[in-house]
Structures are given as structure tokens and as C-alpha cells.
Amino acid sequence: MELEEVKRSETDLDKDSYFVKNESVMTSSLDVLTTLSSSKRVVLMAKGDLIPNAVAVANIVTENMLKGNSEIQNIKLDSVISEEDGQMISNIEIILIKN
């Protein structure tokens, strides 16, 4: 299995990327649903404490909002050591596609 580095910057996002923020999971899910309806593919990205929110958004979109019409194509995980305090920060990238 080949490891791929996960993008970590909000400035490097392309048009089908969504960086999960510290806001309501339903608000994020609606934003992702809007993006997914126009582009057929969205990449959810989160880091640190926001990873559970990204997983929840992916589940809400695929299991509730677009049940049977979307799926999780790929999940990438990565960790980096912060230069400021030396702590390890995890990152996730979840690729959702609309069938």
C-alpha cells in the first residue's frame, strides 16, 4: 500500500475540497451536500480535534442525505509533528462521490 501525503493548508484547497471547521455538523453537511450536488465529488479535510466532525459529516451525507446515491471512495490519514510545541497532529482526508 502506497502512502500519500494529505494536504494540510486551507489555502491549497481546490474547488471540490471542503475543510471542516469548528461549526455545527449539520451546517457542514449542508455545505458538503451543496458542493457534492454541483461537482459529483468532494474532499473533506480536517485536522486534530475536528477529525470526528469530518467523519460525522461524511456519515450524515452518505447515510442520511444521499442514502444509496453517494459513497465514501477513499480515506487518507496522516500525522505530522508540530514545529511549535512538538506535538503530533493528525489529519484526515475523506473523498465522497455521488453516484
Cut 0.95: pTM above it: no
In this model, does residue 5 exceed pLDDT 80? no
Domain assignments of the chain as residue spans, ordered by start: 14-98
- In this prediction, residues 93-97 reach a mean pLDDT of 96
Residue type, 89: I
Query: What whole-number distance in Å separates Cα of residue 96 and Cα of residue 8?
Result: 18
Considering the chain, what is the average pLDDT of its residues? 88
Q: What percent of the chain has pLDDT over 70?
A: 86
Query: What whole-number distance in Å separates Cα of residue 42 and Cα of residue 62?
Result: 12
Fold of 14-98: Translation Initiation Factor IF3 (3.30.110)
